[in-house]
Amino acid sequence: MKIKFIPFILLIFLISSKSFSIDTKAEQAVVIDFDTNEILYEKNYNLQTPPASMTKILTVYVAFDRLKNTDLSINNECTVSAKAYKMGGSRTFLEIDDKVSIDDLLKGIIIQSGNDASVALAECLAGTEEDFAKLMNVYAKRLGMNNSNFVNSSGWPEDDHYSTVLDLALVSNAIIRDFPNLYLYFSDEEFTYNEIKQPNRNKLLQSVQGADGLKTGFTKASGWGIAATARRDDRRITVVINGTNSSRSRMNESSNLINWAFSQTSQKKLVDEGQLIVEADVWLGNKPRVNLISSRKVISTLSFDQLQLIKSSIQYTKPIEAPIIKGNTYGKLLIEIDGKPNIEVDLIAEYDVGPINPILKIFAAIKYLIFGTSLDE
């Protein structure tokens, strides 16, 4: 497997499958460490397939954004159209001309996967479902979902309605990151509307430790799929699979990947922001040395073998000529990990170092050549 680079807000690194031994019966799969944005496992992750009801994650993302950034309220009511009422597949059991709160529509979409609720919400927010789908595509591009196209809000099978497990993982992580309070909808285990109790279709909520979302999906063309996520202690793993042959297989394969990621990989802080990396000699400065510190924190997800094989090196020009400006870059820390792209960290000056008095330059230069340091403080 070749190393691949994927742009999305933070850089996502692909770890070679040689590092971690895992496989899945799903036709497409991706496993991502939420905090480091590293892909721990992938299988056909950029293959375009029908996303089925996992489409609804983006539908909900658009609604959450409106709730967070406009005057829209979960108490606002939407009118159920004939189109929404007539939707087939999974339903929230809405009735024509019902006045339904956005709160209830969101629960119907997230918990029951109601196609009728998806259309009703889309029409309420954009006038028509077609216009809402155009809005979905705008959001998709912003989120880096570059291999997706949406023509409806529910995932109902249509030509030119497609996505990838990677793109669905991106919007899954975005909804958790951008709307942590609203995201709690996804962990609700049941919902009652029209006196009909509707259990959450995501069975991982009851069977996998730390599971709190997101969304199942099924069409004949795509097979059974799920976007799933779990949090244990301070770590979150997101898994998206598609193309399994049954709902049981979908649950087994997704839970296996989540449990594998937690048990066989771990997050390690390789360097902290502001950490002293090297004390460098200064040329013709009013201090003999300057501390070069890390410009940023680096956390990576590693296997046991990778932890044993980490290599690092420091690159900078010796000695560093004064004046030296606090916060400016004067070197690099290079971290090499088997199966991953090299990591470069800028080394910055911890404090200013001014130039030496011109009269003393000749003596400082001689002293450096003899003793290896510039004039004492």
Query: Which positions are annotated as active-site residues?
Result: 53, 56, 113
Report the side by side order of strands in the sheet with 211-219: 38-43, 28-33, 235-244, 223-232, 211-219
- Neighbour tally for 142: CB within 10 Å: 11
Task: Give the Cα separation of 61 and 55 in Å (integer).
Answer: 10
Beta strands in 210-297 (DSSP E): 211-219, 223-232, 235-244, 266-271, 276-283, 289-294
Specify the amino acid at residue 309. L
Specify the amino acid at residue 94. L
Widest distance between CA atoms in the chain: 92
Q: Which residues contact 339 (CB under 8 A, 6 or more apart)?
A: 3, 15, 16, 18, 19, 306
DSSP state of 80: P
Alpha helix ranges (H) inside the chain: 56-69, 82-85, 102-110, 115-126, 129-142, 165-178, 204-207, 247-264, 304-308, 361-371
363: left (phi over 0), alpha (psi -120 to 50) or beta: alpha
Q: How far is CA 372 from CA 189, 279, 367, 377, in A?
A: 69, 13, 7, 15
What tokens appear for 89 in the block? 């597949």
- Neighbour tally for 233: CB within 10 Å: 7
